[in-house]
Amino acid sequence: MKAGRRFATLIVLALALAMPWLLSQSWLNTLIIAVLYAYLASAWNIVGGFAGQFSLAHGLFFACGAYGSTLLEQQEGVNPWLGMLISAAFAAALGAAIAWISFRRSLPPLTFALVTLALGMLGLLGVSSSDAFGGAGGISLPIGGGGLAEYRMPSDQATYYIILAHLLVVLAICVWIYEGRLGLYFRALRDSERGARAIGIDVLGYKMLAMAISAALTAAGGTFMARYLLFIDPPTFLGLDVVVQSILFAVVGGIGTIFGPLLGALILVPLSEALRAQLGSSFSGLYLVVYGAVLVLVIRLAPGGLVGIVYRMRARGSPGRA
């Protein structure tokens, strides 16, 4: 069993590494976006799924990574890789602070989602109207020049491997958290805050920690997105779109599981892209109608997410392990 699983992991990894040679240019770009979203959804899942704290402020952290690394490079000449780390540290502090403000007193459920929603929207409106961040017009990054050492993408293959490396790191962190003591604490405070407190878990501290880890990882994703698009503007990075999409992928795949968010993003992003290619020419919005219908159907037929279906099938295959 153990050996079989290791073998399967190796095959999947080899397949992932071979992708640039198997796919056409346009599908490789779709895959890059899919892997980016798998990364973002997995990062969100640490606080939203493992710890059950529904953050809608992740646009702030995403923007931290994009704006932070870019402004540090353009104004202080800081290497973007270093800028990524600095922005991630800043995002972690910001995330911990947001969690502290929100959870300092115990609030009714749903409140954290609303506090983070308000903070996210205030961030969007604030950055859009502030000249220091390029305002609503955004900031362009110079095209070309420099190599990987300056976080410039020499080719789509390189871009893909960079984001794949991001994804592998976040998955490793997810496995490490989930299977370790930290994951137990997170799940305990998610399932019963009172119970968690009663057995001596520092609830506030671990919520801040979950938020900080998730925020730092999300910020690194923001840096990647900025280097990939070579353009940053408030709606793309701070809008509700990115966080809502990440949450959708996590929920559709299976929230609170290790591989659910990955599964959701890797299925839904290419699906939406394929639908667009098929239907986009006839009616501009039709592919999104179908996409919405898929979301509705999945929740109607598999409320536990796609991972839930896999578990159910496996449980049926081996009786007595339900």
Partner 1 sequence: MATVLVLQAALQGLAIGAIIALIALSMTLLFAVCGLVNFAHGDFLALGMYGALLLAGVGVDPYLAAPAVLVVFVAIGALLFVVLVRPVQRSGLLAGAQLTLGLVFILENLMLIGFGGTHQTVRNVLSDRNLSLGGLVLPWQLVVAGLITGVLAMLLNIMIAHTSFGRHIRAITQNPDAAALMGVRINRVQMTAFALALGLLGLSGPLIVGQFTLTPDMGLDYTLRALIVMVLGGLGNFVGSFIAGLLVGVGESVATLFFGGAIGAMVPFGLLLAVLLLRPTGLFAQR
Of positions 292, 312, 315, 316, contacts partner 1 by CB under 8 A: 292
Placement of tokens 């954290």 in the chain: 112
With CB under 8 A as the contact rule, which of the stretches 13-21, 36-44, 162-170, 296-304 interacts with partner 1?
296-304
**Would you state the structure tokens that stand for residue 176, as one six-digit string?**
């490490």
Interface pattern 115-154 for partner 1 (x via CB under 8 A): x-xxx-xx--xx-xx-------------------------
**231 forms bridges with which residues in the sheet?**
140
Report which secondary-structure segment, H or E, holds 102.
Answer: helix 80-103
With CB under 8 A as the contact rule, which of the stretches 23-31, 181-189, 229-237, 284-292 interacts with partner 1?
284-292
Measured in degrees and rounded to the nearest 5, phi and psi for residue 151 equal 55, 40
**140 forms bridges with which residues in the sheet?**
231
**Would you state the structure tokens that stand for residue 288, as one six-digit string?**
């999104």
Instruction: Pick between residue 121 and residue 173 the one whose CB is nearest to partner 1.
Output: 121
Of positions 72, 162, 177, 252, contacts partner 1 by CB under 8 A: 252
Let me know: does 80 contact 69? Beta carbons within 8 Å. yes
Of positions 111, 171, 187, 275, contacts partner 1 by CB under 8 A: 111
With CB under 8 A as the contact rule, which of the stretches 17-25, 63-71, 98-106, 195-203 interacts with partner 1?
98-106
Q: Rounded distance, CA 279 to CA 290, Å?
A: 10
Of positions 12, 13, 82, 101, contacts partner 1 by CB under 8 A: 101
Instruction: Pick between residue 15 and residue 107 the one whose CB is nearest to partner 1.
Output: 107
Site residue total, partner 1 (CB under 8 A): 41
Q: Rounded distance, CA 19 to CA 286, Å?
A: 29
Report which secondary-structure segment, H or E, holds 232.
Answer: strand 231-232
Of positions 107, 148, 198, 277, contacts partner 1 by CB under 8 A: 107
* CA within 13 Å, CB half, 156: 14
Contacts of residue 257, defined as CB under 8 A and 6 or more positions apart, other chains included, come to 45, 49, 305, 307
Is residue 78 within the footprint of partner 1 (CB under 8 A)?
Answer: no
Is residue 307 within the footprint of partner 1 (CB under 8 A)?
Answer: no
Q: Which residues bind partner 1 (CB under 8 A)?
A: 101-102, 105, 107-108, 110-111, 114-115, 117-119, 121-122, 125-126, 128-129, 240, 244, 248, 251-252, 255, 283-286, 288-289, 291-296, 298-300, 303-304
